[in-house]
Amino acid sequence: MSTDITSPDITAAAPPHRGRRRRYSQLSRSDKVWLSLMVGIPSAIHIAFVWLPAIGTIMLSFTKWDGIHLGTWTGVGFKNYWTIFTVFDDKFFPALFNNLILLVFLAACSLVGVLLAYLLDKGVRGSAIYQSIYYLPVVLSLAVVGFIWKSVMYSQSQGLFNVGRTTPIDFLGNSQKLFEFHVPFLSFPLGLTKNFAALLLAMAWRHIGYVMVLYLAGLKSVDPSLREAASIDGCNEWQTFRRVVFPVMKPINVVVLVITVIEALRAFDIIVALKEPIGTTVLGVLVKNNLTGEGGGQVGIGSAYGVILLLLCLGFIIWYLINNYREQEL
Amino acid sequence: MSGTTEQSPSPRDVGFSINRRQVLIGGAGAASAAALLAACGSDAKTTPATTGGATGGTTAGTTAATSGAAAGGEVTFGSNYSDAKPKEAMQAAIDSTGLKVKVNTTDHNSYQGNITNYLAQPDDVLCWFAGYRMRFFADKGLVGDISDVWSKFTDFGDSFKTASTGNDGKQYFVPLYYYPWAVHYRKSVFAEKGYKVPTNKAELVALATKMQADGLIPFAYANDGKWPVQGTFDILNMRVNGYKYHVDLLAGKEKWTDPKTKAVFTAWAELLPFHQTNANGRTWQEAATSLEKKEAGMYYLGTFVATNSKDQAYLDDLDFFNFPALDDKIGADALDAPIDGFMMAAKPKNIEGAKALLAGLGTAKAVDAFLKIEGASVAANGKADTSGYNAIQKKSQELVSKAKNIAQFLDRDTSPDFVSNVIGDAFAAFVADPTQVDTILKGIEDKKSTYLS
């Protein structure tokens, strides 16, 4: 025991057996305090501001509440979900489908962004100018992007896309569908409305630049000797990218993927900023409309929409984590 | 604009042209103010008791005794008159009462969006709108009964008293001013082409047809934000079914699938070809411009239609007429004329002072001081000084005083939730494709019970 006295941090702890003591001895007592603080404080904040509200939302989704007096909620079981899937099905499913379209579309935009980044990285003449042009929209919030496209591009009376037309095109008000298809259990068709397509265009304007800058930064950091080696081995352009550059860029690829999915699920600001034209609703808008605003709202139904959105996000997050950890172990 | 549900404009929202930059800056400010408001509201666990409505008479004595000593007679006043000119006008109205008032001004968008949280810890007196939006809070016990203040009012017409009365028959609201909805037109266009103001359906259709033949769009039309066409529904329902049916329908007592309701949409579909196409993607300001440019002959909108114009010749040329009767048995004596005014907190800190302030704001002196600066709306008080009114203000007053019933506009006459989640989309879908009327009406009726029960 005399050896223990020389290291006070261990005597303070409950008498441990030998194996554990050796492992713990690498951290001093203050290390441990700092570590627990550094882990504990963010965890506490995370739990308090993310998970407690999330659990609260889940609980509220099983109640009927006007949001005015605390404690006046009454449990209604799964009725809110039932209402969403039966009475509000013509709002919910088109919104879900719009989120899905957004995901596919933004993924395509990401690919364009990657392509642009690759071309610019090749040292095109005036690449700094191109970079600035593509990057410019990224500094704007999506709401501002919406305002710009609404008044400068799409306006029926003064929009750039309507200049010189005798019968102006109603880009943002036209909810006719570009394509539609029937789903067996729904009484109405799902499809892509023309005004949502117009919004997609505005979003692409920003998203492509965003992905391009991220990817460009990544490409700059790729070791040139890798490419040299690839070309010495006789790889062509595509093979070099697919077999050498792309795998090296894995961290950036993951970031781009995550950003694309998050943008697709949370996209809501541009739609709200444009006063929610019909046919452009996404899940986030439904959550907002039922929870906030005058009159207290339908907290139960709004929460139920929120829970559905949470489950969709969780699905992606779990898939991502599993994938990520599995590769780290290998 | 920033995250709040789009609603029909309050007179002060549309009374002055604001440039785009101000809107954007205001939006950013609104977001942070909203967060603050929301934070305050949710911290306040001491929500007012549900019996708030009954506190008026019984606790008045004790409350006044304690607060009178503590606050020194100061009254707090929650204002959403956040733009420069309306803010100044409201201050002038308050000053005219001679009371010691502490004004807390909040950006009007966040004020409206966070009203529920705000009412958990409100100021003694606060700004609000008449109609369902007032009665809703009265029913919840969130605002105070001011029937004793009303018992001393003599200057208000009956329609204003009705508009200030809650479902329990007590008064909760003091009106300040209003603006009516009517059919606007340019006198010069009517004179040049020999058009006459229509007084019945046949004349209206004949006029619209003639305008089309003359290369004019009969009615300018817009629906950006999904509230403007609600005005069309209001007036058609009041002309086809009358005021009583209109308010009953909006209160959830009548069915949207009823043949009487469908008749409104039939009339709407009949008139729709006379309206500007692609309404859903157009702002009312753009539609108003087509009236100004003589591309359209008429525009059914609130009297704020010309507030964005600086052209005095146009303003002098502008006139309006009451929407004509569609059914002689129903007539044309009801219209939309949203009223803005004040409510009292359910449990004000200084109840005597709050009531004195409300009584003061209900006087002709207060509204005169307000309109002297604001200069676009019309005083609710019957004894207000009308000598400074412009032609539109004078005509508005005449129109409304002749009306037997005044509706507040659809989103003020029913649950705002119901409007923003159901009606807005439904009407926009109808304007886009009137043939879908049956599906649309069934959709509204199915969803109604979630919001109105």
pLDDT averaged over every residue in chain A: 85
Chain A interface includes B416 (CB < 8 A): yes
- pLDDT for B260-304, tens place per residue? 999 999 999 999 999 999 899 888 988 999 999 999 999 999 988
| Residues contacting B371, CB < 8 A, separation 6+ | B89, B177, B377, B378, B379, B384, B388
Q: Which CATH number applies to B11-177+339-388?
A: 3.40.190.10
Q: State the virtual CA torsion across A14, A15, A16, A21 in degrees, nearest 10.
A: 90
pLDDT confidence bin for B136, thresholds 50/70/90? confident
Question: In a 10 Å sphere around its CB, with 0-12 CB exposed, 13-18 middle and 19+ buried, how is residue A328 labelled?
Answer: exposed
Q: Give kind and range of the element (H or E) at residue B75.
A: strand B75-79
Q: Which residue has the higher pLDDT, B319 or A267?
A: B319
Chain B residues whose beta carbon lies within 8 Å of the beta carbon of residue A151: 20
Q: Which residue has the higher pLDDT, B28 or B278?
A: B278
Cβ contact A205:A138 at 8 Å: no
Token pair of A69 as six digits: 């007096």
- Fold topology of B181-336+415-451: D-Maltodextrin-Binding Protein; domain 2 (3.40.190)
- Coil vs helix vs strand at B341: strand
B5/A170 Cβ within 8 A: no
Q: How far apart are alpha carbons B126 and B232 in whole angstroms?
A: 30
B447/A168 Cβ within 8 A: no
Chain A interface includes B446 (CB < 8 A): yes
Residue A14: pLDDT above 60? no
Q: Which DSSP string corresponds to B91-155?
A: HHHHHHTT--EEEEE--HHHHHHTHHHHTTS--SEEEEESSHHHHHHHHTT-B---HHHHTT--S
For B280, which of A83, A173, A301 is closest by C-beta distance? A173
pLDDT of residue B73: 80
Instruction: Give the ipTM.
Output: 0.80
A289/B5 Cβ within 8 A: yes
Cβ contact B226:A275 at 8 Å: yes
pLDDT of residue B8: 64
Cβ contact B304:B9 at 8 Å: yes
DSSP β-bridge partners for residue B166: none
Chain B residues whose beta carbon lies within 8 Å of the beta carbon of residue A275: 1, 6, 224-226
The residues of A whose Cβ lies within 8 A of any Cβ of B are 66-70, 83, 87-88, 90-91, 143-144, 147, 151, 154-157, 168, 170-176, 195, 272-273, 275-278, 281, 288-290, 292-298, 301
pLDDT confidence bin for A34, thresholds 50/70/90? very high
- Return residues 90-129 of B near A (CB < 8 Å): 112-113, 115-116, 119-120
| Residues contacting A70, CB < 8 A, separation 6+ | B45, B47
- Structure-token match 């950036």, residue found: A252
Q: Give kind and range of the element (H or E) at residue B296.
A: strand B296-302
A288/B3 Cβ within 8 A: yes
Q: State the virtual CA torsion across B297, B315, B13, B142 in degrees, nearest 10.
A: -90
How is chain A split into domains, by residue range?
2-60, 86-329
pLDDT averaged over every residue in chain B: 83
CA B330 to chain centre: 24
Cβ contact B145:B54 at 8 Å: yes
pLDDT of residue A296: 56
Domain A86-329 is in which class?
Answer: mainly alpha
- Structure-token match 């352009």, residue found: A237
Query: Which ranges in chain B are annotated with CATH 3.40.190.10?
Result: 11-177+339-388, 181-336+415-451
- pLDDT for B377-402, tens place per residue? 899 988 888 888 888 888 998 898 88
For B281, which of A67, A68, A172 is closest by C-beta distance? A172
Chain A interface includes B451 (CB < 8 A): yes
For B281, which of A66, A174, A298 is closest by C-beta distance? A174
- Choose from B24, B282, B290 for mutation: most chain A CBs within 10 A: B282
**Pick from A87, A88, A188: which is nearest to B436 by CA?**
A188
Chain B residues whose beta carbon lies within 8 Å of the beta carbon of residue A276: 6, 226, 424
- Choose from B278, B347, B415 for mutation: most chain A CBs within 10 A: B278
- What long-range pairs does B379-388 form, CB within 8 A, spacing at least 24? B379/B176, B379/B177, B380/B156, B380/B160, B380/B175, B380/B176, B380/B177, B380/B178, B380/B339, B380/B341, B381/B155, B381/B156, B381/B175, B382/B155, B382/B156, B382/B157, B383/B155, B384/B155
Chain A interface includes B224 (CB < 8 A): yes
pLDDT confidence bin for B48, thresholds 50/70/90? very low
Distances in Å between the alpha carbon of A250 and those of A202, A208, A246, A255, A326?
28, 19, 7, 9, 14
For B278, which of A156, A288, A292 is closest by C-beta distance? A156
Which residue of chain B is at minimal alpha-carbon distance from A271? Answer: B3
- pLDDT for A116-144, tens place per residue? 998 888 878 888 898 888 888 889 888 89
Q: What is the pTM of this model?
A: 0.80
Q: Give the CA diameter of chain B.
A: 73
Size of interface A-B (CB pairs under 8 A): 129
Cβ contact A165:A156 at 8 Å: no
